[in-house]
Chain A
Amino acid sequence: MSVARKNAWAGALHRLEDGVLALAVFALVLLATASIVLRTGFDTGLPWLDPLLRMLVLWLAMLGAMAAAREGRHIGLDIAARWLPALAARVVRMLTYGFAAAISAILAWQALRMVRDEYEIGGIAFASVPSWLAQAILPFGLAVIALRLAAAAFRAPTPPADGIPGH
């Protein structure tokens, strides 16, 4: 695949991801507001709404963390990066992001084990949504984060000229 094609694909994927994220935010605001309107205006509510909101927060967090990993924008210290010469900074970047990618991969694997266990037990998160489905974002999101951090490890770090740490 040519570089241009590859970038086009990546671009489309990122737009899709951003779209899903924006929609999820809208859903959160809408559902949370709807819950209040139902409760105060009509003295009623939907029993699955509150657990759904809580699950949505987890999903938003993971989607947001995936987006952060795409740009290598996770919260971290940046004291050393500012003082190191370019070559050393590259090596340090490989080391630190490689480490983070490995840890994310381990977490993804452990999350997958948890989801499998939950699937066997057949727990219910809310309404008829099984817990394993609610948890499924964890192994998926962490695996994506692992891949993205691994890719970021090989990119040259842009010096944070008073920019976002690690950006």
Chain B
Amino acid sequence: MTVVLVGLGLLLLALLGAPLFAVIAAVALLGFHGQELDLSIVMIEFYRLADMPVLVAIPLFTVAGFLLAESQAPRRLVRLSDALLGWMPGGLAIVAILTCALFTAFTGASGVTIVAIGAILLPAMLQAGYPRLFALGLLTTCGSLGLLLAPALPLILYAVVAQHAGGAAVGVDDMFRAGLLPALLMILMLGAYAVWQGRRLPPRPPREAKGWQEVRAALLDVAWELPLPVIVLGGIYAGWFAASEAAAVTAAYTLILTVVIRREVNLRALPGVLRESMVLVGAILLIFGVSLAFTNYLVDAEVPARVFAFIREHVDSKLAFLMLLNLFLLLMGMCLDIFSATVILVPLLLPIAEGYGIDATHLGVIFLANMELGYFTPPIGMTLFIAAYRFNVPIWTLVRACVPFFLILFAAVLIITYVPSLSLALVR
């Protein structure tokens, strides 16, 4: 009874606008208190932030994103994509979808995509005349698009965890191949919606230079920015850099580019831009830190194990299990970060799912697809907050903006769930 009341109280506080980190921390503190454990565990977990090498990439990519957004880079990007894909309805939107998917494939969906790329693409899309809600929804959705594309870390992590959990042979390469078609399905479905939306755009004013000449001019215009995707994509895919190293090179290059070469961020404005970028990093990592503590409480209290015991007792058909699985994973994807979710849930899920005759590799794709959706599931999907923050709009606006995209990707997730061959065709 008290538990329910306290829970409702915290939910009310969250809905009334209490800083989210405080709400999550309160749940973790209360949880550990209920287990009669030392409350400093919350901070011991928080301090794990300093133990994660992957995290170094976040402030570095964030700084780069803020600097680029502050410069004229978005305008140049629009010009180029206009020259290349301007003939096509929804061209820029498709550029946005592809860029975000590729970027997320190696940054993981830690919100970096929205921070670094979303903020450049939003002004670009608005300039190109896309409706504001459409642009916001698309970019928020794209914040986690690409989780199923190799070499995304979650694919690897799933293979590692699954191999130990079920004894089933799930290779990293299997997951890379299995994720490809489902990822393309999501990209295609979003792309089709973008084209359909693009048809309703007002006719563009005729440009002076056209065709290849404009492409060439636009390319020259972005000549200094062009090395960036090469550093980031080429550097990592070709194995020149580690992800955190690519982030460092990107940040250093962007700093020199915007301040020294282009001079579009002047020295007096620079500290302000750096500060703003770190305010975002601070706000995100504060939540991530306390959510580590919250996750640890769930692990300590064996909550996931209990939920699964309950499921095993009450569900007997494969179809019903899959349906329940989707709902459950959506909920978990909304609450947990993907890495914790994988480490905690997969070992519990796998034996049960195999009991219902579900392939371990297919389960991995279902799992990650749901997590991807969970990222922007209202009301507490993580990218909703990051996007609201970065795009400077109320959460409520974003929730509305995301509805059509959520429905499209939810349909994709259902197809992925109930058509196993989509995941398994390239594996076997």
Contact = CB atoms under 8 A, between A and B. Distances in A.
Do any CB atoms of chain A lie under 8 A from CB atoms of chain B in the complex?
A: yes
Interface of A: 18-19, 21-22, 24-26, 28-30, 32-33, 35-36, 50, 53-55, 57-58, 60-68, 73-82, 92-93, 95-97, 99-100, 103-104, 106-107, 110-111, 113-114, 117, 125, 134-135, 138, 149, 160, 162-166
A106 B379 CA distance: 27
A29 B248 contact: yes
B284 interface: yes
B36 to A, nearest CB: 15
Interface in B225-267: 241, 244-245, 247-249, 251-252, 255
Contact of B59 (A28, A33, A77, A79): A28
B209 interface: no
A103 B394 contact: no
A81 to B, nearest CB: 5
B404 to A, nearest CB: 20
Nearest to A33: B252
Interface stretch (B10-18, B120-128, B305-313): B10-18
Given A32-B248, A75-B389, A99-B22, A111 B275 contact: no
Contacts of A100: 18-19, 21-22
B47 interface: yes
Nearest to B251: A29
Interface of B: 13-22, 25-26, 29, 39-40, 42-44, 46-47, 49-53, 55-56, 58-60, 63, 241, 244-245, 247-249, 251-252, 255, 270-272, 274-275, 277-287, 289-290, 379, 385-386, 388-389, 392-397
A54 B52 contact: yes
A69 to B, nearest CB: 8
B248 to A, nearest CB: 3
A92 B286 contact: no
B27 to A, nearest CB: 10
21 contacts: A25-B63, A25-B277, A25-B278, A32-B244, A33-B252, A35-B248, A36-B241, A53-B56, A58-B47, A58-B285, A75-B19, A75-B287, A76-B18, A77-B17, A95-B18, A97-B18, A99-B26, A100-B18, A106-B29, A135-B47, A165-B388
A76 B40 CA distance: 24
Contact of B283 (A25, A64, A97): A64
A110 B40 contact: yes
B395 A78 contact: yes
Contact of A61 (B42, B49, B255, B395): B49
A164 B26 CA distance: 24
A138 B281 contact: no
Nearest to B10: A99
A117 B287 CA distance: 24
A79 B18 CA distance: 11
Contacts of A30: 252
Nearest to B284: A75
Main secondary structure of the interface of B (DSSP, over half): helix
Contacts of A110: 39-40, 42-43
B345 to A, nearest CB: 25
A162 B136 CA distance: 13
Given A106-B39, A114-B47, A163-B392, A77 B275 contact: no
A58 B48 CA distance: 9
B17 A92 contact: yes
A64 B395 contact: no
Contact of B282 (A68, A104, A165): A68
B241 to A, nearest CB: 7
A162 B392 contact: yes
A162 B18 contact: no
A73 B386 CA distance: 12
Identify which of A68, A82, A162 gathers the most chain B CB atoms within 10 Å of its CB. A68
Contacts of B18: 76, 95-97, 99-100
A24 B60 CA distance: 12
Contacts of B282: 60-68
A78 B59 contact: no
Contacts of B395: 77-79, 165
Contacts of A50: 53
Contacts of B379: 77, 79
Contacts of A99: 13, 18, 22, 26
